[in-house]
């Protein structure tokens, strides 16, 4: 007798490349595709309206595509463990299929459902398709532990077989004689709910910048490949102000919800490369945007505490400050730094921000300025970011806060200079902070420095219509770098870790040549900073590379995205003195400067900014070659400032 199947959708909200769905219909008499939606969870979870809207649009699109096959999506209200036993009996089910979930809580949930199915005599078929590889094989190849550097991860996957090819899209011919019983009351019982039904107030909700669904995803991937003008030579276009805006070729939310198969993306990139490069084998770095995602999935799969500091074996325990008021100002775009506030406004309105913008706001919240735990930033991203993913979100925040994976804490992103470098005219700020529209470009990144006459002409008085800066960046960043240095010194001392082998010397100022922006201060003419290589907008100091990967990409957005190099750290030659823009000063010697903690709490000191870089001459040639091996990194000596600026746009 032909089995009656249920295919359980969670992620993987698509009909293309869905091997578990294929198994559901194979030789089956009936198939019902279900998605569980807990109305209580909708009202109480830490997920914002944009993410819920995206999910519901994905479900509506999935239902529409199933209708074309004379099937429907069954949206079930309730918890899977409570509802499945009833469905097994009511629908006389003998086969259950679903996509493998690599995350710890997903594995725990699925084990419980498998047990229920076994007790009901239901066969369970699970297929891997949300990741490129079987993560357990990567861990097994690494001696039973997940690799904790991207370079090691690359080495391991280079020893594995290539990812499996995508399977055929579900079609009438694949459905065969399999049917979906649909009642007349299907819409009432199993229809996709509206946002209002879930309790959301949609008054004033703008049109979605990122429409959800597989149909949109497949349209975007074609645009994504067509519009990559760099593909012919696999070069990356320059970063510019437009890179900060949502692109019609962006893919990250669609990969997160599984509307787009990562394997389809992988092989489309492969085919394109071979077509252009005359069948030469593509380097691993071509897939950087997918492999970083895979790297964090691998690191998290056996670590249920991956999203926590306490009890997380790979996370440095840092005594972050608890400062709800400062956290709220950051989350609500009221920091007084237009660059930071514009980014957080875009995030709240649209559900997406450029990966360099993620770096900027994450550094500001954690180790750069506010000294607030990365866990708090992660929660805000979980609420607002369409592509927020448990493994990738937590991993990114640990990375950016120097809590794991990355220890170059002496690089601090300037909340003024970096934005100014990216968008000198300030159009991004004017778009998301209309109150500042009247400021000239000269003052739009630091309006508190504008004369009263300029503020009056702009019809925006700082401290009245727009807040004053909540923190003195130069002082806060100096203090926080010293805090991080002490933490890593203790780790090195008590754990025998060579974590500080690459910490820069003080160069006479106690800060390793650290450069920082101070509101209202400028570098004095004649100041000699030739020992510190830096790009305007990024504070710099000398450092040996950790794992050959300094800046990370975890979203797949516009045509400026990563080409063959994936994610990398670059080194550049020092800028000529005349190219060093104002807005920077050397941090004073920490031994000579005494500032009470009270001062920093007055300034509220206590979740992806330009590329990280170093001064040449610190790392020897052999070490540099070793770092580049397997990472696709070019010879640092060949990297000019111009080239670095172009490469900083590789993944927007």
Q: Give 506-532 pLDDT, tens digit per residue.
A: 333 333 222 232 233 333 333 333 332
Per-residue tokens: 371: 């000294």
Query: Can you give the pLDDT at residue 286?
Result: 78
Quote the pTM value: 0.78
Instruction: Give which of 37, 35, 39 is closest to 72, Cα–Cα.
Output: 35
CA separation, residue 579 to residues 464, 530, 536, 538, 575 (Å): 35, 11, 9, 14, 6
Tens-digit pLDDT profile for residues 158-211:
999 999 999 999 999 999 999 999 999 999 999 999 999 998 999 999 999 999
* Low-confidence residues of the chain: pLDDT under 50: 229, 496-652
Asked if 394 and 306 count as a contact pair (C-beta separation under 8 A), the reply is yes
Query: Can you give the pLDDT at residue 406?
Result: 80
What are the residues whose beta carbons fall under 8 Å from the beta carbon of 119, sequence distance 6 or more? none
Whole-angstrom distance, CA of residue 66 vs CA of residue 45: 29
Query: Can you give the pLDDT at residue 614?
Result: 28
Asked if 262 and 290 count as a contact pair (C-beta separation under 8 A), the reply is yes
CA separation, residue 440 to residues 240, 265, 417 (Å): 19, 43, 16
Report the first-to-last Cα separation within the chain, whole angstroms. 52
Query: Can you give the pLDDT at residue 40?
Result: 62
Query: Can you give the pLDDT at residue 151?
Result: 93
Query: Can you give the pLDDT at residue 226?
Result: 78
């Amino acid at each position: 007798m032909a089995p009656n199947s249920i295919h359980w959708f969670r992620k993987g909200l698509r009909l293309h490349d869905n091997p578990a769905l294929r198994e559901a219909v194979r030789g089956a008499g009936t198939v019902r595709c279900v998605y569980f939606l807990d109305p209580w969870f909708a009202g109480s979870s830490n997920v914002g309206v944009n993410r819920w809207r995206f999910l519901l649009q994905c479900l509506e699109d999935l239902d529409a595509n199933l209708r074309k096959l004379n099937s429907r999506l069954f949206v079930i209200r309730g918890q899977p463990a409570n509802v499945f036993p009833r469905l097994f009996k009511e629908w006389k089910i003998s086969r259950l299929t679903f996509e493998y979930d690599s995350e710890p809580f997903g594995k725990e949930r699925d084990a419980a459902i498998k047990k229920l199915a076994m007790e009901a005599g239901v066969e369970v078929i699970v297929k891997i398709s949300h990741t490129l590889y079987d993560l357990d094989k990567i861990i097994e190849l690494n001696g039973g532990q997940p690799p904790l550097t991207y370079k090691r991860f690359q080495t391991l996957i280079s020893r594995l077989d290539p990812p499996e090819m995508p399977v055929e899209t579900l079609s009438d011919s694949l459905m065969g004689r399999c049917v979906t019983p649909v009642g007349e009351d299907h819409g009432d019982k199993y229809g996709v709910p509206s946002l209002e039904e879930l309790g959301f107030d949609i008054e004033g909700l703008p049109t979605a910048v990122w429409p959800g669904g597989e149909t949109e995803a497949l349209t975007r991937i074609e645009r994504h490949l067509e519009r990559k003008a760099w593909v012919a030579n696999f070069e990356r276009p320059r970063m510019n102000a437009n890179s900060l805006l949502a692109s019609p070729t962006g893919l990250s939310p669609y990969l997160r919800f599984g509307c787009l198969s990562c394997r389809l993306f992988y092989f489309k990139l492969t085919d394109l490369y071979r077509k252009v490069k005359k069948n030469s084998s593509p380097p691993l770095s071509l897939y950087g945007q997918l492999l970083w995602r895979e790297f964090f999935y691998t690191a998290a799969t056996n670590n249920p505490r991956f999203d926590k500091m306490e009890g997380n074996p790979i996370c440095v325990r840092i005594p972050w400050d608890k400062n709800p008021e400062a956290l709220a100002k950051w989350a609500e775009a009221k920091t007084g730094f237009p660059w930071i506030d514009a980014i957080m406004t875009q995030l709240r309105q649209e559900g997406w921000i450029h990966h360099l913008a993620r770096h900027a706001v994450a550094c500001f919240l954690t180790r750069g300025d506010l000294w607030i735990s990365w866990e708090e930033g992660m929660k805000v991203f979980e609420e607002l970011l369409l592509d927020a993913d448990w493994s990738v979100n937590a991993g990114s925040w640990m990375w950016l806060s120097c809590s794991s994976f990355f220890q170059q804490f002496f690089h601090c992103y300037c909340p003024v200079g970096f934005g100014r470098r990216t968008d000198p005219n300030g159009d991004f700020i004017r778009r998301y902070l209309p109150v500042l529209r009247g400021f000239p470009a000269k003052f739009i990144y630091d309006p508190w420095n504008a004369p009263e006459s300029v503020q009056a002409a702009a019809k925006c008085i700082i401290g009245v219509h727009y807040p004053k800066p909540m923190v003195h960046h130069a002082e806060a960043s100096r203090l926080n770098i010293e805090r991080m240095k002490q933490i890593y010194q203790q780790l090195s001392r008590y754990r025998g870790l060579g974590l500080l082998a690459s910490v820069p010397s003080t160069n006479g100022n106690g800060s390793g040549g650290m450069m920082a922006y101070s509101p209202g201060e400028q570098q004095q003419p004649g100041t000699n900073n030739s020992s510190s290589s830096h790009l305007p907008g990024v504070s710099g100091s000398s450092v040996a590379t950790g794992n050959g990967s300094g800046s990370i990409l975890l979203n797949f957005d516009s045509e400026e995205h990563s080409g063959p190099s994936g994610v990398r750290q670059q080194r550049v030659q020092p800028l000529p003195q005349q190219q060093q823009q104002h807005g920077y000063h050397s941090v004073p010697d920490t031994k000579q400067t005494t500032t009470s903690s009270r001062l920093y709490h007055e300034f509220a000191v206590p979740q992806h900014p330009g590329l990280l870089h170093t001064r040449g001459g610190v790392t020897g040639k052999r070490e540099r070659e070793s770092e580049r091996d397997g990472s696709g990194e070019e010879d640092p000596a060949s990297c000019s400032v111009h080239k670095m600026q172009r490469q900083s746009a590789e993944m927007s």
